[in-house]
Structure 1
Amino acid sequence: MKKITFFLSLIILISCKNQEHNNSDKTIADSKEQTVIPQKGKKDHQVRDIKKAEIAPNVDGDMNDPIWNQTKWYPMDQNWIGEFPDIKDFFGRYKMTWTPEALYILVEIKDDILYDQYKDPLKLWWDDDCVEIFIDADNSGGEHQYNNNAFAYHVALDGNVVDLDAEKKPLLYNNHIKMKRTTKDDVSVWEFELTVYDDTYQEGKANDPVVLSNNQKLGFAIAYNDNDTSKERENFMGSVFVPGEDKNQGWINADIFGTITLVE
């Protein structure tokens, strides 16, 4: 009788151990299924709310549209290339607004010499005076040098808009940005209407622009290439702090863009 009792106890003990082992495996499996692996991506910085315009501003290089009286100036005071310029040589600031159809940007630049040495808009376009607008439609960040994950639009004094395409060649994107510049003495007012495209954009194809909406986030930065009659640009002044020694990263890496949030 004692032997029978012993064997029954042994069977029950083994059964319990097996059950514990099986439950332990299931717990580990469930834990693995619930683990979220963090994805690399842009960390939002310089986050700014951009107010919607009830009436879109006229792109005429004039600051008198009602929305421009209701929005604040932001500085272009980050030295990306060259020595920090004297205020007599350069001063830059900008404002922004939006409608579902486009982003609108007002830029005021104090520059005593406007220089356009290359009449061919696709030749060394970055060494002429120009405004450069960086836009990332989904604020995802990442590399965009030769793809449309983001855009780096160089807008020349004459209104030509240049970026690099997937074939590593410069291309005119004049249908992406409408621009008007007015200049009085050494102060220029640049006004832009920017149609936003996302990473599905393909050159030479029919592409639908992004419809902008409340609470939407976009990656954004803006800069000015300043050249006072030199062979190469002398300064490159941006709107976003870029860490490290090489600050000329905007045309390659959308992680350095600030983040704008569209609000009503």
Structure 2
Amino acid sequence: MRLLKHLVLMTVAVVALPVGVDGKATGPIYLARRIPEGTEIKVDGDLSDWQWLAPVFSTSDEFPFARWDVPEEDFGVEVKVAWSPETNMLYHAVKVTDDKLLTLPREQAQKMWRYDLLELFIDADGSGGNYRGENNSAQAQQYFLYLPPDRSACFGLFGPQEKLGWSLKAPYAKYAARYDGKTICYELAQNVWDFLGDSPQQSRLHNLKAGQVMGWKITVKDRDNEKEAPIGCTLRPSDAWENADNFARLMLTP
């Protein structure tokens, strides 16, 4: 019964691809709603200002990562996504049930893919293809947000962060995370890029508009100890570490 309920939620969130949409990703489409006029999202890790929006998906069982048999009190996910033409930013609010947080110091952030974190994959113009190697995270990116042991949020990307790190800071990105011992709340607002270079002048900013579909994917991981492999959920089981064609898709709605 629990699985059936989750599959119904997944069906509501996914829509058919409209004719004429460019892009190479072939995964399911999820919806990001425009932030209503008069609604302010303060990126501080307090998700109470997201109550106007229903989750894009709200269970770890929709797309399990590694295991099906995870109890709800140990791991669960609720994701909300929105966008704003006024700020030209994409917004995420992610609530994760996690009774034990295992992370690394920010100096070891590039190894965090094996621990408790939020991963966000974005291919803003839907160009797809291999975004590693010589492309060097230019046309698509794999971002991460997590809480190091000092509990100060760390936002980064798996790639040449020493060159692209300017895009992870204000005014191009805002982020926060909180943990109360049972729940992690991640909150993020960021510009997205058709081409991300070593500086704003060498980059091409993506302008968000209703009706656009971009390559997009979320993965949330949970690891309780060093001896066990991480569990979690991901929006598409295909490996997206190198190939943006394996992302899911996100449609910006009015």
Q: Give the structure-1-normalised TM-score.
A: 0.71
Q: Secondary structure at the match of 1:126?
A: helix
Q: Distance in 1 between matches of 2:241 and 2:83?
A: 23
Q: CA offsets, 1:84-108, max 9 Å, x none?
A: 3332321112011101210111101
1:162 pairs, out of 142, 156, 161, with 156
2:197 aligned with 1:202? yes
Identity %, equivalent residues? 25
Counterparts of 1:99-118 in structure 2, within 5 Å, are: 99-100=84-85, 101-118=88-105
Quick one: structure 1 residues 178 and 121, their matched pair in 2 at CA, closer, same or farther if it must change by over 3 Å? farther
Q: Partner residue of 1:92?
A: 77
Which aligned segments of 4 or more residues in structure 1 are displaced greater than 6 angstroms? 168-171
- Provide Cα deviations, 1:23-42, integer angstroms capped at 9, x if missing partner: xxxxxxxxxxxxxxxxx962
2:214 aligned with 1:218:
yes
Task: Say which SS state the counterpart of residue 124 (structure 1) adopts.
Answer: helix
Work out whether 1:61 is the aligned partner of 2:56.
Answer: no
In the alignment of these two chains, the number of paired residues is 215
Are 2:240 and 1:250 equivalent residues in the alignment? yes
Residues 68 and 252 of structure 1: is their aligned pair in 2 closer, same or farther, counting only changes over 3 Å?
Answer: farther
Provide the TM-score with structure 2 as the length reference. 0.73
8 Å contact kept, 2:177–2:186: yes
Using the alignment, how far apart are the partners of 1:134 and 1:148 within structure 2? 13
Which one of the candidate residues 100, 107, 132 is aligned to 1:120?
107
Quote the Cα distance in structure 2 between the aligned partners of 1:127 and 1:41: 29
Contact 1:144 1:254 in 2 (8 A): yes
User: Distance between the aligned counterparts of 2:40 and 2:235, measured in 1?
Assistant: 24
- One-letter identity of the residue aligned with 2:123: D
Gaps in structure 2 of 5+ consecutive residues: 1-21
Q: Over alpha carbons, which structure has the higher Rg?
A: 1
Q: Tell me the secondary structure at the aligned position of residue 251 of structure 1.
A: coil
Deviation at 1:58, TM superposition (A): 1.0
In the superposition, relative to structure 1, how do residues 115 and 108 fare at CA in structure 2: closer, same or farther (>3 Å)?
Answer: same
Query: Which blocks of at least 5 consecutive residues in structure 1 are unaligned?
Result: 1-39
What is the rounded CA distance, in whole Å, between the counterparts of 1:171 and 1:211 in structure 2?
19
